[in-house]
Chain A
C-alpha cells in the first residue's frame, strides 16, 4: 500500500482484513469457501426479496393515503359548502397530516428503490467474481505446481473474500434501513388505526363523523336553500358564492363562509349529492 496514512481508511481496511483472516483460514478447503460464496448469494437474493416486500407494503400504504387525501378534501369542501367551517378545518388539518405522511412515504420508497438497485448490482458483481474465481482456480491448478498454485489461489480468494465481505456489509446496511422503514410504516399504520387520517372515527359501517355531521347539516340546508330561493325570487340580485375551490388552507374557510350569504355554491352541493344549498354559515 503506497503510503496510505488516512486514519479512517486504515481502520476500515484493517477491519476488513481481520474479517478476511478469520474467514480465510489457510486450512479451509476451497470447496468450503465456494460453498460460502453460494450461501452469500442466496442471502443477497433473500435480502432483495425483503426490500421488495417492504416496497410493496409502502406502496399500498401510499395508495390508501392518496384515497384518504381525496376523501378529506371532498369532506372539507362539503363542510364548507354547508357552512361548517370548523368541520372543514378539521378535515383540512387531517388532510395536511396525511399529505406530510405521503411525502415522507415517497422519499422512503425512493430509498428502497435505490437499495434494491444497489443490491441487485452487488449480486451481479459478486456472481461474476465467483464465476471468475471458479474458473481461475481450475486454470491455476492446471498450470502451477501445488505450492505455487496455493499462493495464487489464495490471492484470488482474497479478492473474492473482500467482495463477499463488502456485499455482506452492503446488505446489512440495506436491511437495517429497511427495518427502520418497517418500524416507521408500523407507526403510520397506528396513526391510521387511531383515525388520524380517516374516520374522524366511524360510528356506523362506512360512515364517519364528517359524513354524519354533513347528513345532519343537509336537512338544515334544505330549509336554508328554500329560504335563499325565496329571497332570490323576491329580491332578484345575488352575487356568486364564496370561493370553495382553494380547499387547502384554513384561510379559504372564512372567505367562503363570508361569501355564502350571497349565493349558491351549486357545483359543490351537487357534487355532495345534496340539493343545491347555500348556507348562512350558522349550522352546527
Chain B
C-alpha cells in the first residue's frame, strides 16, 4: 500500500501496517478532540515516524495515487482541529 506524508512524499508499506497506522491516526484524532496538544504532537510524530521507518520511499518516476495520505509532518494541533471542522489546511 502506498502512503503519502503530505508535503514530503510517498512510501510503500506492507498491507498489515495499516493496523498500526489506523491506531495512531485515531489516537491523534482523540488527542485533537481532547485539546491535548502534547498528546497530539507525540502521537502524530509517532505516526509520521512509523511511515518513514517502515516504508520504502516510492521512486520519483512512479506515477501512482496513494492509498493513504497523512497530513504534513509539521501540522499543528490547531490545524488538525480545523481539519475536522471543515476549514483545514487542504481546502475542500
Contact = CB atoms under 8 A, between A and B. Distances in A.
Contact of B7 (A7, A129, A166): A166
Given A15-B92, A118-B7, A133 B18 contact: no
Contacts of A1: 1, 67-68
Counting chain B residues whose Cβ lies within 8 A of the other chain, the interface size class is 35 or more
B91 A19 contact: yes
Nearest to A122: B7
Interface in A1-23: 1-9, 11-16, 18-19
Residue among A1, A122, A124 having the largest count of chain B Cβ atoms under 10 Å? A1
Interface in B47-92: 60-72, 74, 80, 83-84, 88-92
B28 A173 contact: no
Contacts, number: 114
A66 B29 CA distance: 45
Contact of B21 (A6, A14, A18, A158): A6
Given A15-B92, A173-B89, A2 B1 contact: yes
Contacts of A7: 25-26, 29, 84
A156 interface: yes
Contacts of B15: 2
B25 A9 contact: yes
B7 A170 contact: yes
B83 A160 contact: no
B48 to A, nearest CB: 11
Contacts of B65: 155, 158-159, 162
Nearest to B3: A9
B88 A15 contact: yes
A179 to B, nearest CB: 15
Given A166-B6, A170-B72, A11 B83 contact: yes
B22 interface: yes
B60 A9 contact: no
